[in-house]
Amino acid sequence: MMRVLIVGGGAREHALAWRLSKDSEVEVIGAPGNAGIAAIGQTVPVDPSDAEQVVALAKQESADLVVVGPEAPLVAGVVDALRDQGIDAFGPSREAAQLEGSKIFSKEFMARHAIPTAGFAVFDDPDAATRYIEEASRPLVVKADGLAAGKGVIVASNAAEAIAGVDRIMRERAFGGAGDRVLIEECLVGEEVSYHVVSDGKRFIPLAPAQDHKRAFDGDRGPNTGGMGAYSPPPVVTADIERKILDRVVEPTLRGMAFEGRPFRGALFVGLMIVDGEPLVLEYNTRFGDPECQTLMTRWKGSVLPLIQGSAQGDFRGLAPEWEAPASLCVVLAAGGYPGSYEKGTPIHGLDAASALPQVTVFHAGTALHDDAVVTSGGRVLSVTAIGESIDEAAKRAYEAVEKIDFEGKQFRRDIGWRARSG
């Protein structure tokens, strides 16, 4: 029996645990996990970004492999600490994780390696940033340099919105030290796509494309969130566009990282804007997307262990992904008030009824067990995911399951996958 420790407690980690646990040779442990992971394996309360705690737990549980899910532990160097102790770990080193840990590093990296992206400027002074915005007087995107749980990006349609974004990030310190510097980019108009590959440091395996829905409300309105739903595959990624993504973005990125002494091992998730048939990089993420991971894992055929372990060990020659389901769609159920303040400890009803529906899997994110009942414990609470022969079929199943789940304040988008649905 192979013991796999999964670091993190979101729906992405539940999806990875769920897929790995389908291999009869795998036993999963969540650190800290959530109520969903607790139903398929052991969970242990640790701080996922504390390298000492994670290493100690991996040794205590005799873990054969550690899968680090979220970005914060990667940027904190948890993978480095594990590898230093001879423990196989899936994910990039601290140096390679800078592709996500610093938006400014990633943009300057793209410039060095001629990777297509929007024009940009960097500021460490809010007054200088404000002057730049006033002079530009056009739609811009303002980003906190560091990690901000997917919320440190302000897409501004005018100068006033952009200046308010600078104030929130740099003056009000909404994201703490992540806002010491800001990146101001030209605003790209097109269709957004999430593209994942897994690398072993020398080779990479492309996975299926997906499309995330970042805005909180239907019609792509409201504030940015960590993601309100996703589907795979999006029709915008034709064979021609996928080849451009691989040739112009993925290959030079991995080649550039190796050249700069930061070879990349793990999941590389590139956020792209497709503009007039051309892919431009919005951002890099150095882990699986959430909720994109839920769509990829439910589509996956067979064991995902060879991919994950091969990457961790630096050799997955001969592997290729197989897709069991043609389409998958995920709807995130969030707590009332998310992405702002929200209550915790609200009982969740209907999980068994939703999970009993055919081709439906309910992944837990912000959940916990309280007196044997599942309660809310975060902003994004559940990822209701369904597969089908088409996006329409997957959407129908997912939303049927959504209606069976109830908790006070439940909010969700009703238009996930709208670009690919017929009605």
Residue 316 has pLDDT above 90, yes or no: no
Residue 339 shares a structural domain with residue 387: yes
Same domain, 152 and 212: no
Q: What is the mean pLDDT of residues 114-130?
A: 95
pLDDT in tens, 12-29: 999 999 999 999 899 999
Whether the pLDDT of residue 285 is over 90: the answer is yes
Summarised one tens digit per residue, pLDDT across range 131-167 is 999 999 889 999 999 988 777 888 889 999 999 999 9
Report the share of the chain in percent with pLDDT over 70: 100
Give the number of domains in the chain. 4
Identify the domain containing residue 304 by its residue range: 191-313
Asked whether residue 83 falls in the same domain as residue 158, the answer is: no
- Residue 43 domain-assigned (yes or no): yes
Of 318-322, 334-338, 346-350, minimum mean pLDDT range: 318-322
What the block records as the tokens of 100 is 């996500």
Angle of the 305-313 helix axis to the 11-21 helix axis, nearest 10: 110
d(CA 96, CA 218): 35
195 and 295 inside one domain: yes
Backbone angles phi, psi at 60, to 5 degrees: -60, -40
Instruction: Determine, yes or no, domain membership for 346.
Output: yes
Tell whether 367 is covered by a domain: yes
Is the confidence at residue 289, as pLDDT, over 80? Answer: yes
Task: Tell whether 100 is covered by a domain.
Answer: no
In a domain, 131, yes or no: yes
Beta partners for residue 67, in sequence order? 6, 90
Q: What is the CATH number of the domain that holds 30?
A: 3.40.50.20
Instruction: Say if pTM beats, i.e. exceeds, 0.85.
Output: yes
Do 364 and 37 contact (CB within 8 A), yes or no?
Answer: yes
- Do residues 47 and 392 touch, judged by C-beta distance below 8 A? no
The enclosing domain of 160 has a CATH number of: 3.30.1490.20
| Domain CATH code at residue 369 | 3.90.600.10
Residue 248 inside a domain? The answer is yes
- Residue 166 and residue 77 in one domain: no
**Is there a single domain that holds both residue 162 and residue 216?**
no
What is the residue-wise DSSP string for 159-213? HHHHHHHHIIIIIS-TTGGGGSSEEEEEPP-SEEEEEEEEEESS-EEE---BEE-
Same domain? 199 vs 176: no
CATH number for the domain that contains residue 235: 3.30.470.20
- Is 101 inside a domain boundary? no
Is the same domain home to 242 and 301?
A: yes
Tens digits of residue pLDDT in 55-99: 999 999 999 999 999 999 999 999 999 999 999 999 999 999 999
